[in-house]
Each structure stands twice: as structure tokens, then as C-alpha cells.
Structure 1
Amino acid sequence: MSNENPIGLFDSGVGGTSIWREIHTLLPNENTIYLADSKNAPYGVKSKDEIIELSFKNTEFLLEQNCKIIVVACNTATTNAIQELRQKYNVPFIGIEPAIKPAANQSKTHKIGILATKGTLNSELFHEKAKNFTDVNIIEQIGHGLVQLIEEGSINSPEMTELLESYLEPMIKQNIDYLVLGCSHYPYLIPQIEKILPQNIKIIDSGEAVAKQTKSILDQKGLLKNSTNSTQFFYTNVNPTVLQNILGSNKNVNYLDF
């Protein structure tokens, strides 16, 4: 495996670009390939077997592009399929899961909110992690409809505002002081969420931690890239417009019949 080989990332759509941004900011010299499986979004409503099958398919595409490490930039795919991926493929995997630990450790009210997909909140891995924080009340909320609106490019729509208010206001009333975003799509909603939350409630997502872990694993394996010229490729299996809009017009998005 060459250190010039790219970092591969996949998500059930455009949301994992929030993870890509953190990795690219920390490791600007690295080549990256991002795969958005928007045709099958959201993963959060699918069965565990379906999520595993889609994760295998995404991984095999990235391995065909000679990726040296794969970042599962999707909470639902991580919590439902990361163990199976590590068993099946001989490549390092970085997963992403809700950042319960920093929120629980820093909470003064001992009440934290978590906004995530059904697939993440119902997963065995999430429940195993949550068990470690018995002294904190974790208030869970499934973000029904949020991923679909983001995939449609409706981040700032009245419908999005209405949904977010309905999910967040009960948490506010229960006196949370941290909100954990448990889906890689949700960081794109932070400006909207900040308008709803009181200033004392802090928002935590996993992006920066995932970037640091990616760098650490590449360093351990001697796979950090040395040269400074880098390439960034983005693929989607639906109309590229939404992904293009989120990334900016200077990024080249390729349609993939996948």
C-alpha cells in the first residue's frame, strides 16, 4: 500500500462531506475520494442487513480506487456495519459514532440530548456506548425527515425549521446543556439549530475527532502522504447538484451509475 493512495470516505448521501471537510482541513496534502450513496438515503430507516450490504458495496467501490483507509462517514453505517466491514476487508476503517463521551463528561445538568437517525439510536453499538454513562440522562430524539430535506437541498426551508423546533424544544424543557449531533448530515443544520437553542446549550459533533483518528491511524501505519499536491474526487449516484451546492462550485462532482 502506497502512502500516495487516497483516503476513501462514504456516506448515505451528502452529509459525510462534513467529515470530509474536517479531514481535508487537518490533512490537506492527502488525496481523497468521497462516495455519496444518495440514491439509498437515508440509511437510518433500513434494516441492519440492508445497511451492511450497502456498506460492502460502497467499500468495494473505494477499494477499486486503491484507497489506503476507509472512513465510514455515516453514523448509521458505523453503528450497524463497522464490525462486519473490519472482518471482511483487509484495510483500516475509521468509524463515526455519536460523541456521547465528551458531552456526558462535561455536562453540568447531567442531561444531554442526542439527535440521530433511527438506525443509529436502535443499534447495539449505540446502546453499548450509552451504558457507560449511567449518571447522565441521555434524551434521545430520532430526526425523522431531516436527512431527506438535506438531500433535497432544503436546509433553510420552513419545513426544516418546524421539524427542528419540534425535536429540540422538548429537550430544552428537560434542561439539557449539550446537544450531540448523531448523524454526519446534521452539522449542516447547526446555523438553524443555534437559532432555536439557548446560548447555554453547546452543540457537539464527531467530525474533528474522526479527522484526528484518521491522521493517527495513517501515522501509525506509515501511510501519511508526503507530497503537497493533492486531488479530491467526489461521486454521487443521483443528480450532482445538491452535492455540488454543499461543496461549492470549485469542486468537481462526478455522477456514478451505482
Structure 2
Amino acid sequence: MKIGFFDSGIGGMTVLYHALRLLPREDYIYYADTQHVPYGEKSKTDVKKYVFEAVDFLVRQGIKALVIACNTATSIAAKELREKYDFPIIGIEPAVKPAILRSQEQGRRVLVFTTRLTLREEKFNNLVARLDEDHIVDGLALPGLVEFAERFEFNETVVRPYLTTQLAPYKLEEYGTVVLGCTHFPFYKDTMKTIFAPEVDIIDGGKGTAENLARTLQKANKFQQGTGSVDYYMSGNKVQDPQLLQQYGRLLERLQMLDNLQSPTSQRGCQEQSLHYLFP
């Protein structure tokens, strides 16, 4: 059986990348709800409906576990999904807790990039209220980054002016940590690093979510030896167009490149050896 990955669009690829690195012999099915992207600009009721329709589809394909690779969908539907289904369901949420701990030590603030719907959602606000005793967390919705990603637009000359405009009201020197609270955002870490000071940490929950998936599968004794294949679906339709499949491959290549930029040179050889798993 396969591991299901679900997102409103291509953002969940930033989590799938880490799963492919960590569990290269599992088989995957990736569902992008491109018919309804972006979720972050829609109502809670609509998003919940879309999520359950997508997960029902994945269940019919026969999955053994589900990764909700979308912060907005996790905050809105994870609890009810776990009540309905008996297979492991792994969600993702902004890495606020480690960000607060890091920035408190530095005497600096935390900036959380997210979607408008997540920013309004009770679960996110409760999380911040519970952890942010010193009131050092600020939130900023960046819907434009989702739109850029869905157009496969990663050119810094296009993306940087948008980020600069959105960040203009903020004193960037006050921040020690930036949290990427939408899975589309890690595609733009390289541009973000040109805007913030070198010592600012830019973190997301993708790797931690993949590690949680691995721990959950191990605990449930659900590991299997597959081929590392990925079947892609767009709102229920299997992706078979060679050009589109190549685009998905290029997304994983971009994530590999961004990973290498952050990794010591001594580790890159090890990463490059796994490329044949990343691009099935």
C-alpha cells in the first residue's frame, strides 16, 4: 500500500521531498487539489469539504497512511479526519515552539509567514497564545507566494519585489527567526535569505513532518519495500502528461538545490547519491 500525500497544490512537494529522502523505498501517491487552490483565501467550510473529498479519493486508492502536507488543511480538518479514519494521519503546523525558544535566547522576535485562513484559524492563534508568553510572535500572510509557486515562478527578480513590499512595515533587524507556515513557502528560502540578515533562522516543518511519518510507520509496523515511485494526481485526475511530470521533477530538483545551499560541502556527496530515488 502507498503513503498518501495531500495539499491544495504543489506546496506539499516540500514535505514529500523529505519523505523521499528518509523513506526512499516506500511508494507514494501525491494529490494536489489544483481545482481549488489556494485554500488560504477560501472559507473554512469550503476547505473542509475539499479536504474530505480529496482524502476519500486517496482512501479509494488504498493508502496505509496520510500526510496532510498543508498547514491550512491541518489546522482545519486534521482532528475530524483522525476521528473518521483508522490509518495514521500526520499533519503539519508552523514550527512556532522551536522558533520562540531560539529567538528568546537571542532577545529577538519571531515572524511567521502563513496564509490568511491559517492566520485567522483558532488552532493557530491558540498555539501562539499558549507558547508566546513574551508576545514576540508576529504573523504575516503571503498569498502571493502561493500564486507564484502554482505558476512555477521562482525567479528572484519577480519574487523579491513582492516580499520587499510585504515586509516594508516590519523592522527586520528585530527578528531572529522566520517560520514558514505554508508548505509552498520553502521554495523561496533562497530569496528570503537575501532579504534577512545572515544570522536569521528560516525554518519550516517539512523535515520534522517526514520524521514523524517515519516514526509513526515504524510504531505501526507499516514499513514496506517498494520502488520509491510517486503517482501524481490533480484533483482526482492522474497526471500523465510528460511535461507536467518533468515540472514535478524540477520542483524536487529545486528543493535538492536549496538543501545543498544550507548543507556543509562534506554532506553534498551523500545527498547527490540519493537523486535516483528523488525523481522517479
Give the counterpart letter for 2:51 in structure 1. S
Give 1:136 deviation, angstroms: 4.3
Q: Gapped runs of 5+ residues in structure 2?
A: 254-275
Give 1:246 deviation, angstroms: 4.2
**Equivalent-residue separation in structure 2 for 1:30 and 1:172 (angstroms):** 44
- 1:235-250 aligned at under 5 Å gives the runs 235-237=233-235, 244-248=246-250
Give 1:174 deviation, angstroms: 5.6
**Equivalent-residue separation in structure 1 for 2:63 and 2:181 (angstroms):** 26
Give the counterpart letter for 1:118 in structure 2. R
Match of 1:214 in 2: 213
Match of 2:53 in 1: 57
Structure 1 residues 140 and 68, CA gap change in structure 2 (3 angstroms): same
8 A contact 1:181–1:203 mirrored in 2: yes
CA displacement, residues 58-85 of structure 1 (integer Å, 9 cap, x when unaligned): 1011111111010000000001111121
Give the counterpart letter for 1:80 in structure 2. I
1:12 aligns with 2:8: yes
Give 1:18 deviation, angstroms: 0.4
Q: Secondary structure of the equivalent of 1:233?
A: strand
- Cα RMSD after superposing both structures: 2.1
Match of 2:116 in 1: 118
Give 1:242 deviation, angstroms: 6.0
Match of 2:160 in 1: 161
8 A contact 1:172–1:197 mirrored in 2: no
4+ residue runs over 6 A deviation: none
Match of 2:199 in 1: 200
CA displacement, residues 211-234 of structure 1 (integer Å, 9 cap, x when unaligned): 110011111111011x25332211
**Equivalent-residue separation in structure 1 for 2:233 and 2:54 (angstroms):** 11
CA displacement, residues 21-50 of structure 1 (integer Å, 9 cap, x when unaligned): 011101111111101111211000111111
Match of 2:87 in 1: 91
Q: Secondary structure of the equivalent of 2:17?
A: helix
- 1:114-153 aligned at under 5 Å gives the runs 114-131=112-129, 132-153=131-152
- 1:26-105 aligned at under 5 Å gives the runs 26-105=22-101
Give 1:167 deviation, angstroms: 2.7
Q: Which has the higher helix share?
A: 2
Match of 2:19 in 1: 23
Structure 1 residues 18 and 79, CA gap change in structure 2 (3 angstroms): same
**Equivalent-residue separation in structure 1 for 2:114 and 2:190 (angstroms):** 17
8 A contact 2:111–2:179 mirrored in 1: yes
CA displacement, residues 190-215 of structure 1 (integer Å, 9 cap, x when unaligned): 11111111102110000110011001
**Equivalent-residue separation in structure 1 for 2:166 and 2:107 (angstroms):** 19
User: How many residues are treated as equivalent by the alignment?
Assistant: 247
8 A contact 1:178–1:204 mirrored in 2: yes
Q: Secondary structure of the equivalent of 2:53?
A: helix
Give 1:173 deviation, angstroms: 3.3
Which stretch shows the higher mean deviation, 235-244 or 38-47?
235-244
8 A contact 2:33–2:234 mirrored in 1: yes
Give 1:137 deviation, angstroms: 0.9
Structure 1 residues 203 and 169, CA gap change in structure 2 (3 angstroms): farther
Give 1:169 deviation, angstroms: 4.4
Give the counterpart letter for 2:6 in structure 1. F
**Equivalent-residue separation in structure 1 for 2:244 and 2:48 (angstroms):** 25
8 A contact 1:104–1:136 mirrored in 2: no
8 A contact 1:15–1:186 mirrored in 2: yes
Give 1:160 deviation, angstroms: 2.2
Give the counterpart letter for 1:130 in structure 2. V
Which stretch shows the higher mean deviation, 83-92 or 227-236?
227-236
TM-score normalised to the size of structure 1? 0.89
TM-score normalised to the size of structure 2? 0.82
